[in-house]
A and B are shown apart, each in its own frame.
Chain A
Amino acid sequence: MTRSRLTRLVRAGLVLGAFSLCFGVVAGAKAQTELLNVSYDPTRELYREINAAFIADWNAKNAKKISTIRQSHGGSGSQARAVIDGLNADVVTLALAGDIDAVAQRSKKLPENWQTRLPNNASPYTSTIVFLVRKGNPKGVKDWADLVKPGLQVITPNPKTSGGARWNYLAAWAYAEKAFDKDEAKVRDYIGKLLANVPVLDTAARGATTTFTQRGIGDVFLAWENEAFLALKEFGADKFDIVVPSLSILAEPPVAVVDGNVDAKGTRAEAQAYLDFLYTPKGQAIIAKHYYRPRNREAAAPGDLERFPRLELVTIDAVFGGWAKAQAAHFGDGGTFDQLYKPAR
């Protein structure tokens, strides 16, 4: 190879590099009316369908069109952290109110009373915690009391990092309070035994699902109702059964407009309409289709509603006095989880 040829080659490379740099800047600056929905892990399919329906609905009525609604999914806590660190979310749709509280407190981008701005605690749907067991329920698990049987393996993620796991923990606690008539020593004994039956604490709900369904570890998986249905759908109803306990917790995954971001981007009207759409009959029907319990039962398809068994559901406000209290008492440093969880010997 001659030297001049190499020189030309190098120059061409430099030009190419400069060009790609410019291209990158241009691509980054391209502006469109887009919304960004920052959500938690299992809602991808739900919002994909909601987004298509909402965009069609909005664009039919408004001159200012929406081109795309972007989705970002991850663990609820880490998604909240990203929004605090500047992820430009128009709306947040997370697993629990505590995570949106954190965004409100730390970023000051939405008021602390955000949960009163939409109906039903700003939660357009609810869900609950059920048991997923191996087909035929070989261990005969019927209710929470069975989970502390010696030798039984229970799969639940780590409540320190997973929103879903906090619901699991509180559901178990609520059951124990009722079963032992609020005798705290007995409640703590029950929770301690339950945690002793957990062989591995995954960091997030999806990881725990994989542990149970794909790695085949454990006898009972404490799961979001929608995750349990999804596992049946993905892996076949011949592999697992859903067991509905006598009592569980009413999980209310809330949604909120991030005021600071929508005002900066000029997308408030769109973002607000997007969340309102979740409460419309059309939105509620899509919600029920994706295994979340709709607030407005009349809107859902009857076939979808049949899938939701009736059970006693307690709220976090009634039993634990709200998320802030529950978080501090159970999951903060030195909370009941820290006191009762003893990692595997």
Chain B
Amino acid sequence: MSEAALHLPAVPPSRAGAQRVRGESLVVRCLLIAVSLAFLALFLLLPLVSVFVEAGARGFAAYQAAITEPDAVAAIQLTLLVASIAVPFNIVVGIAAAWAIAKFEFRGKNFLVSLIDLPFSVSPVISGLVFVLLFGAQGYFGAWLKANDVQIIFALPGLVLATVFVTFPFVARELIPHMQALGSADEEAALTLGASGWRVFFAITLPNVKWSLFYGVLLCNARAMGEFGAVAVVSGKIRGLTNTMPLHVEILYNEYMGAAAFAVASLLAGLALVTLALKSLLEWRYGDAIAASRRH
């Protein structure tokens, strides 16, 4: 760790200067910490706690009934199904994109990087609407799809498409800087020793970036399960069929079933907590490995 600290890019201008800054700012620091803590408590902790409090407001039996009700079960299954398709897809494509960008030089590379970021900057509603424009009955491919009896919008494929679109950057964005930092010296060495392309990929590249990959997958999955806007546009809200968990939460709330809404919401919040815990665990348990792999 000390070695890593030496390589910190932001070195203070002088020792005396650093001390002066630290000495002066004791009150300011306390104030800043207090402000951040208050902010976190007010905007993050309080809402999170209130979700669980509301969820349990009508007792355990009501909670259990809310999450085992057929429409809720269908929503949970659908959310898991959509994520289980979208996330592996984004892993494969994300790795491929990151690999191409980090290891090779080609024309239009910056353009590709910007494209990958596009879903971050586009409003999710637009992400949903573009698929309606493309595959809706009045859309560009609408007539052809109808003639061939393929349903994309308001069905599982539409939900998967919208989710893939929205969650696409997560894996690639985590991998690209890491892969770029690593360079391609290891791969070149393996190649000179006669390893095949796949072997290099599985034996060198992937193990080197496994922790950033895991990060990316965690974030990607959390967003895939939690996505609301894009999915709402292409869902059609057919209960028990195309209604995902976030949509189900809104429906329940609108139907005066607050406790049930928060019960389902608590599952989503639970997912967020598990994600957070896994992420922290990774950092704690494999922090050295992560730092080591980044120091290469």
A binding-site residues for B, Cβ under 8 Å: 1, 3, 6-7, 10, 13-14, 16-18, 20-21, 23-24, 27-28, 36, 38, 41, 44, 68, 70-74, 82, 84-88, 106-107, 206, 210, 230, 234, 264
Contact = CB atoms under 8 A, between A and B. Distances in A.
A86 B153 contact: yes
A234 B132 contact: no
12 contacts: A7-B206, A17-B84, A17-B85, A17-B92, A20-B81, A21-B85, A24-B84, A28-B155, A68-B240, A70-B241, A86-B153, A87-B154
What is the interface residue range for chain B against chain A? 35 or more
B177 interface: no
Contact of B154 (A7, A16, A86): A86
Interface stretch (B53-61, B109-117, B136-144): B136-144
A160 B106 CA distance: 51
B237 interface: yes
Contacts, number: 100
Contact of A82 (B146, B149, B236, B255): B236
A109 B137 CA distance: 11
Interface of B is mostly: helix
Given A24-B156, A88-B151, A72 B238 contact: yes
A10 B156 contact: no
**Pairs A-B, 5 closest by C-beta atoms:** A17-B88, A86-B137, A85-B136, A20-B84, A234-B256
A319 to B, nearest CB: 31
Contacts of B91: 13, 17
A69 to B, nearest CB: 10
Nearest to A44: B255
Contacts of B203: 3, 7
B236 A72 contact: yes
B286 to A, nearest CB: 10
Interface in B212-230: none
Interface in B231-248: 236-241
B121 interface: no
A305 B151 CA distance: 44
B184 to A, nearest CB: 18
A71 B251 CA distance: 12
Contacts of B254: 41, 206, 210
Contacts of A206: 254
A87 B146 CA distance: 12
B89 interface: yes
A73 B142 CA distance: 23
Interface in B38-97: 81, 84-85, 87-89, 91-92
A220 to B, nearest CB: 20
Contacts of B156: 24, 27-28
A84 B88 contact: no
